[in-house]
Amino acid sequence: ADRALTAACGTTTPAGAPLPTSTEPRCADEILEIRENGRTMSGAAAFAGTWNHRRTVPQYAWVPQLFAGRTVAELTSYARGARAQALAAPLGSTRTLGTHTVPAYVRYYDQQRELIRTLQRAGFDVYVVSAGAEPVTEVWSRGVGIDARHTIAIRSVLDRRGRITTWNEGCGGVPATRGEAIPYVDGKRCWINQEIYGVHGAVDLLVDPA
Protein backbone atom coordinates (compact mmCIF):
# COMPACT_ATOMS: atom_id res chain seq x y z
CA ALA A 1 0.00 0.00 0.00
CA ASP A 2 2.83 2.43 0.74
CA ARG A 3 4.08 2.38 -2.86
CA ALA A 4 0.58 2.75 -4.30
CA LEU A 5 -0.26 5.62 -1.96
CA THR A 6 3.04 7.36 -2.66
CA ALA A 7 2.47 7.12 -6.40
CA ALA A 8 -1.13 8.35 -6.14
CA CYS A 9 -0.81 10.99 -3.43
CA GLY A 10 2.76 12.18 -3.94
CA THR A 11 5.30 13.22 -1.34
CA THR A 12 4.95 17.00 -1.39
CA THR A 13 2.21 17.31 1.25
CA PRO A 14 3.75 18.77 4.43
CA ALA A 15 3.34 16.84 7.66
CA GLY A 16 0.06 17.81 9.27
CA ALA A 17 -1.55 19.00 6.04
CA PRO A 18 -4.44 17.11 4.38
CA LEU A 19 -3.66 14.82 1.47
CA PRO A 20 -4.82 16.22 -1.90
CA THR A 21 -7.84 13.93 -2.19
CA SER A 22 -10.09 16.69 -3.57
CA THR A 23 -7.73 17.54 -6.43
CA GLU A 24 -6.07 14.16 -7.01
CA PRO A 25 -8.74 11.52 -7.70
CA ARG A 26 -6.10 8.77 -7.74
CA CYS A 27 -5.21 9.57 -4.14
CA ALA A 28 -8.82 9.34 -2.98
CA ASP A 29 -9.28 6.14 -5.01
CA GLU A 30 -6.35 4.38 -3.38
CA ILE A 31 -7.46 5.27 0.16
CA LEU A 32 -11.04 4.19 -0.50
CA GLU A 33 -10.06 0.94 -2.20
CA ILE A 34 -7.70 0.01 0.64
CA ARG A 35 -10.38 0.79 3.22
CA GLU A 36 -13.14 -1.08 1.43
CA ASN A 37 -11.32 -4.11 0.05
CA GLY A 38 -7.83 -4.27 1.56
CA ARG A 39 -6.36 -3.93 -1.93
CA THR A 40 -4.86 -1.18 -4.04
CA MET A 41 -6.44 0.05 -7.25
CA SER A 42 -4.17 -2.32 -9.17
CA GLY A 43 -5.68 -5.26 -7.30
CA ALA A 44 -2.57 -5.98 -5.24
CA ALA A 45 -2.91 -6.84 -1.56
CA ALA A 46 -2.55 -3.67 0.49
CA PHE A 47 -1.13 -5.36 3.58
CA ALA A 48 1.75 -7.81 3.90
CA GLY A 49 2.36 -10.40 6.59
CA THR A 50 -0.05 -12.61 8.51
CA TRP A 51 -2.69 -11.81 11.09
CA ASN A 52 -5.45 -13.47 13.09
CA HIS A 53 -8.62 -12.94 11.06
CA ARG A 54 -10.77 -13.36 14.15
CA ARG A 55 -9.05 -10.53 15.99
CA THR A 56 -8.45 -7.90 13.35
CA VAL A 57 -9.01 -6.63 9.82
CA PRO A 58 -5.90 -4.75 8.66
CA GLN A 59 -7.77 -1.98 6.86
CA TYR A 60 -10.02 -1.37 9.88
CA ALA A 61 -6.96 -0.95 12.11
CA TRP A 62 -5.34 1.24 9.44
CA VAL A 63 -8.07 3.88 9.24
CA PRO A 64 -7.44 5.48 12.68
CA GLN A 65 -3.75 5.64 11.77
CA LEU A 66 -4.62 8.00 8.90
CA PHE A 67 -5.29 10.64 11.56
CA ALA A 68 -1.83 10.42 13.13
CA GLY A 69 -0.70 13.86 14.25
CA ARG A 70 -4.25 15.06 14.88
CA THR A 71 -5.80 15.33 18.32
CA VAL A 72 -8.87 13.46 19.50
CA ALA A 73 -10.72 16.79 19.58
CA GLU A 74 -9.86 17.43 15.94
CA LEU A 75 -11.01 13.98 14.85
CA THR A 76 -14.20 14.42 16.86
CA SER A 77 -14.82 17.71 15.06
CA TYR A 78 -14.34 16.06 11.66
CA ALA A 79 -16.76 13.30 12.62
CA ARG A 80 -19.40 15.75 13.82
CA GLY A 81 -19.21 17.66 10.56
CA ALA A 82 -19.40 14.52 8.44
CA ARG A 83 -22.30 13.17 10.50
CA ALA A 84 -24.26 16.42 10.16
CA GLN A 85 -23.77 16.42 6.39
CA ALA A 86 -24.73 12.76 6.02
CA LEU A 87 -27.88 13.08 8.13
CA ALA A 88 -28.96 16.21 6.24
CA ALA A 89 -28.37 14.71 2.79
CA PRO A 90 -31.51 13.46 0.99
CA LEU A 91 -32.17 9.74 0.89
CA GLY A 92 -30.64 8.24 -2.22
CA SER A 93 -28.14 11.06 -2.75
CA THR A 94 -24.58 10.23 -3.77
CA ARG A 95 -21.19 11.89 -3.84
CA THR A 96 -17.98 11.27 -5.74
CA LEU A 97 -14.80 10.19 -3.97
CA GLY A 98 -12.03 10.02 -6.52
CA THR A 99 -13.74 8.12 -9.32
CA HIS A 100 -16.01 6.17 -6.96
CA THR A 101 -19.68 7.02 -6.48
CA VAL A 102 -20.76 6.40 -2.89
CA PRO A 103 -23.87 7.15 -0.81
CA ALA A 104 -23.89 10.69 0.60
CA TYR A 105 -26.57 10.02 3.21
CA VAL A 106 -26.78 8.04 6.44
CA ARG A 107 -29.74 7.28 8.67
CA TYR A 108 -30.13 5.60 12.02
CA TYR A 109 -32.50 2.65 11.83
CA ASP A 110 -35.70 3.25 13.80
CA GLN A 111 -35.53 -0.37 14.94
CA GLN A 112 -32.09 0.23 16.45
CA ARG A 113 -33.27 3.31 18.31
CA GLU A 114 -36.30 1.47 19.67
CA LEU A 115 -34.24 -1.56 20.73
CA ILE A 116 -31.79 0.65 22.63
CA ARG A 117 -34.59 2.60 24.33
CA THR A 118 -36.40 -0.60 25.27
CA LEU A 119 -33.28 -2.18 26.77
CA GLN A 120 -32.42 0.99 28.68
CA ARG A 121 -35.95 1.28 30.07
CA ALA A 122 -35.66 -2.33 31.20
CA GLY A 123 -32.52 -1.47 33.16
CA PHE A 124 -29.88 -2.87 30.83
CA ASP A 125 -26.52 -1.13 30.47
CA VAL A 126 -26.31 -0.71 26.69
CA TYR A 127 -22.96 -0.38 24.94
CA VAL A 128 -21.85 0.26 21.38
CA VAL A 129 -18.83 -1.88 20.47
CA SER A 130 -17.36 -1.12 17.06
CA ALA A 131 -14.29 -1.79 14.92
CA GLY A 132 -14.18 1.89 13.99
CA ALA A 133 -12.06 4.70 15.40
CA GLU A 134 -13.30 5.44 18.91
CA PRO A 135 -13.66 9.26 18.60
CA VAL A 136 -15.74 8.79 15.44
CA THR A 137 -17.83 6.02 16.98
CA GLU A 138 -18.53 8.16 20.04
CA VAL A 139 -20.00 10.90 17.85
CA TRP A 140 -22.40 8.46 16.21
CA SER A 141 -23.24 6.70 19.49
CA ARG A 142 -24.49 9.94 21.04
CA GLY A 143 -27.15 10.10 18.36
CA VAL A 144 -28.84 7.03 19.84
CA GLY A 145 -28.35 8.02 23.46
CA ILE A 146 -25.13 6.12 24.18
CA ASP A 147 -22.43 8.17 25.91
CA ALA A 148 -18.66 7.89 25.50
CA ARG A 149 -18.34 5.76 28.64
CA HIS A 150 -20.54 3.15 26.96
CA THR A 151 -18.73 3.24 23.62
CA ILE A 152 -15.85 0.88 22.86
CA ALA A 153 -13.96 1.02 19.57
CA ILE A 154 -10.40 1.11 18.23
CA ARG A 155 -8.35 3.19 20.66
CA SER A 156 -5.35 4.99 19.29
CA VAL A 157 -2.26 5.43 21.43
CA LEU A 158 -1.66 9.15 21.99
CA ASP A 159 1.71 10.86 22.19
CA ARG A 160 2.76 13.17 25.02
CA ARG A 161 1.02 16.11 23.34
CA GLY A 162 -2.25 14.23 23.05
CA ARG A 163 -1.92 13.54 19.34
CA ILE A 164 -3.03 10.34 17.65
CA THR A 165 -0.20 7.97 16.68
CA THR A 166 -0.07 5.03 14.28
CA TRP A 167 -0.35 2.60 17.19
CA ASN A 168 -3.55 1.08 18.56
CA GLU A 169 -4.15 -0.09 22.11
CA GLY A 170 -4.21 -3.86 22.63
CA CYS A 171 -6.42 -6.21 24.60
CA GLY A 172 -6.05 -9.44 26.55
CA GLY A 173 -2.33 -9.12 27.11
CA VAL A 174 -1.66 -7.98 23.53
CA PRO A 175 0.43 -4.77 23.79
CA ALA A 176 -0.01 -1.66 21.69
CA THR A 177 0.48 -2.64 18.06
CA ARG A 178 -0.59 -1.55 14.60
CA GLY A 179 -3.86 -3.37 15.24
CA GLU A 180 -3.47 -7.02 16.28
CA ALA A 181 -6.46 -7.05 18.66
CA ILE A 182 -9.24 -4.64 17.72
CA PRO A 183 -12.96 -4.97 18.61
CA TYR A 184 -13.69 -7.47 15.83
CA VAL A 185 -15.12 -11.03 16.23
CA ASP A 186 -12.98 -12.64 18.97
CA GLY A 187 -11.28 -9.30 19.47
CA LYS A 188 -14.69 -7.77 20.16
CA ARG A 189 -15.34 -10.36 22.87
CA CYS A 190 -11.90 -9.59 24.33
CA TRP A 191 -12.70 -5.88 24.57
CA ILE A 192 -16.16 -6.55 26.01
CA ASN A 193 -14.73 -8.82 28.70
CA GLN A 194 -11.88 -6.44 29.50
CA GLU A 195 -13.72 -3.10 29.48
CA ILE A 196 -17.23 -4.09 30.60
CA TYR A 197 -16.71 -7.16 32.79
CA GLY A 198 -13.24 -6.32 34.08
CA VAL A 199 -11.79 -9.66 33.01
CA HIS A 200 -8.07 -9.43 32.25
CA GLY A 201 -5.73 -12.07 30.92
CA ALA A 202 -4.41 -13.73 27.80
CA VAL A 203 -6.44 -12.94 24.71
CA ASP A 204 -7.18 -16.61 24.08
CA LEU A 205 -8.88 -16.80 27.45
CA LEU A 206 -10.83 -13.59 27.05
CA VAL A 207 -12.86 -14.88 24.11
CA ASP A 208 -14.78 -17.30 26.34
CA PRO A 209 -18.31 -16.19 27.26
CA ALA A 210 -18.25 -13.96 30.32
pLDDT digits (tens, 9 = 90+) for 42-54: 999 999 999 999 9
Task: Let me know whether 64 and 137 are in one domain.
Answer: yes
Task: Let me know whether 160 and 183 are in one domain.
Answer: yes
- Which pLDDT score is estimated for 17? 84
Residue 175 lies in a domain: yes
C-alpha torsion 9→15→21→27, nearest 10 = 20
Task: Let me know whether 63 and 5 are in one domain.
Answer: no
Task: Let me know whether 126 and 192 are in one domain.
Answer: yes
How many domains does one find in the chain?
A: 2
Residue 86 lies in a domain: no
Non-local (6+) Cβ contacts of 121 within 8 A are none
Task: Let me know whether 67 and 16 are in one domain.
Answer: no
Task: Let me know whether 128 and 37 are in one domain.
Answer: no
pLDDT digits (tens, 9 = 90+) for 64-95: 999 999 999 999 999 999 999 999 999 999 99
Which positions of the chain have pLDDT values less than 70? 203-210
Task: Let me know whether 3 and 59 are in one domain.
Answer: no
CA distance 33 to 31: 6
Burial, 171: exposed, middle or buried (Cβ in 10 Å; 0-12, 13-18, 19+)?
A: buried
- Which pLDDT score is estimated for 202? 80
Task: Let me know whether 133 and 153 are in one domain.
Answer: yes
Residue 122 lies in a domain: yes
Task: Let me know whether 63 and 7 are in one domain.
Answer: no
Residue 178 lies in a domain: yes
| Structural domain containing residue 120 | 53-72+110-206
